[in-house]
Chains A and B, each alone.
Chain A
Amino acid sequence: MAAKIKIATTSLAGCFGCHMSFLDIDERLLSLAEVVEFDRSPLTDIEHCGPCDIGLIEGGVCNSENVHVLREFRNNCKILVAVGACAINGGLPALRNFFKLEDCLLEAYQDGIGVDNPQIPNDPELPLLLDKVRPIHEIVKIDYFMPGCPPSADVFWNYLNALIEGRDPTLPYELVHYD
Chain B
Amino acid sequence: MSGTLCIDGIAVPFSDGQTIIEAARSAGVYIPYLCHRPGYAPYGSCKLCTVKVNGRTNTACTLPAADGQTVISNSPDLQHDRQRITQMLFVEGNHFCPSCEKSGNCQLQAVAYHQNMLDNHYPHFYAQRELDASHPDILIDHDRCIFCNLCVRASKEKDGKEVFGIAGRGIHKRLIVNSPSGKLKDSDISVDDEAAHVCPTGAILVKRSAYLAPIGERIYDHHPISEVACEKAVLDTQAAKGHASCDQAQLAGQVPQNSGSDSHYAASMPPAPDIKHGR
Contact = CB atoms under 8 A, between A and B. Distances in A.
Contacts of B209: none
A146 interface: yes
Contacts, number: 70
A90 B119 CA distance: 12
A95 B90 CA distance: 15
Given A91-B96, A178-B103, A135 B126 contact: no
6 contacts: A90-B124, A94-B96, A132-B126, A138-B124, A142-B119, A145-B119
Contacts of B116: 170-171, 173, 176
Contacts of A144: 118
Given A89-B124, A147-B118, A149-B97, 9 more contacts: A91-B96, A92-B96, A92-B98, A92-B99, A95-B99, A137-B121, A170-B116, A173-B224, A179-B103
Interface of A is mostly: mixed
Nearest to A98: B128
A54 interface: no
A90 B96 CA distance: 9
Interface in B90-131: 90-91, 94-100, 103-104, 109, 112-114, 116-121, 123-124, 126, 128
Sort chain B's interface into a size bin: 20 to 34
A149 B96 CA distance: 10
A110 to B, nearest CB: 24
Interface residues of A, number: 30
Interface string A99-116: 000000000000000000
**Which one of A89, A171, A173 has the highest number of Cβ atoms from chain B below 10 Å of its Cβ?**
A89
